[in-house]
Amino acid sequence: MAPKAGSKMTREEELLLEGFNKNVSTKSSALFYGNAFIVSAIPVWLYWRVHTVDVAAYAIMFVIGTLVSTWLLAFAYKNTKHVLKHKLAIKREAAVTKEITKKLADDKKISKKKDERILWKKNEVAEYEATTFSIFYNNSLFLAIVIFASFYVLNGASPTVNYGLSIGSASGLIALLSTGTKS
């Protein structure tokens, strides 16, 4: 299946490589970072209203915390998505194949490219599902850890320690867990 030196890869090979590629498209990246930013910004509201921390006084801390946490969360999203995508692709293969076959059953002309279409569709479905599930999973873990850390573990600590440690440990832990290969 390996192409000869200098020859162009077939569409199939391209798609396969894309599937194993850890790089995300611009659109995916924007989705990840946007989501990560929103989720990282939510605890700031929590600290402002519930812990009654003066936002103006601690503005720099909140900004830095949000940015660091955004980056770590996006990192975790990417890793989790990558891990899930393969498994999802395998699981959804049967359903996607059935759907495409049904759609192209009548048209004999396109049936040649059927396999390519199936592969592409499978890739797309797996990508979408893995992305959304990765976001959901990491968000739920992040918020659970932040709530637990800031209200129970660090309840009496100063605002700096409370915010720094709960956001830091939550996003750090998620980033760490997402790099696990065995899951």
Partner 1 sequence: MLRFVAAAALLVASASAACTNPSVQASSYTPADSQVLAAIPFIAEFTLSCGNGEKPALYADIEGSLVPVTQSVDGAKYQVSWVKDVKKAKTGDYSVALYDSDGYTTLRRARENGEAANVAPLVTVVVSYPGSYSGPVFNSEHFALGLSALVFYLAFSSKSALLA
End-to-end alpha-carbon separation of the chain, Å? 30
Closer by beta carbon to partner 1, 91 or else 98: 91
Closer by beta carbon to partner 1, 116 or else 129: 129
Closer by beta carbon to partner 1, 61 or else 83: 83
Q: How far, in Å, are 94, 116, 141 from residue 180 at the CA level? A: 28, 32, 15
Question: Smallest distance from the beta carbon of 96 to partner 1, in angstroms?
Answer: 16
Question: Smallest distance from the beta carbon of 176 to partner 1, in angstroms?
Answer: 16
Q: Using an 8 Å Cβ cutoff, are 169 and 149 in contact?
A: yes
Question: Smallest distance from the beta carbon of 83 to partner 1, in angstroms?
Answer: 7
Binding site for partner 1 (CB under 8 A): 50, 83-84, 87-88, 91, 133, 136-137, 140-141, 143-144, 147-148, 151-152, 183
Question: Smallest distance from the beta carbon of 22 to partner 1, in angstroms?
Answer: 17
* Half-sphere exposure of residue 19: CA atoms within 13 angstroms, side-chain side: 21
Distance CA 121, CA 37 (A): 30
Closer by beta carbon to partner 1, 16 or else 46: 46
Q: Using an 8 Å Cβ cutoff, are 70 and 36 in contact?
A: yes
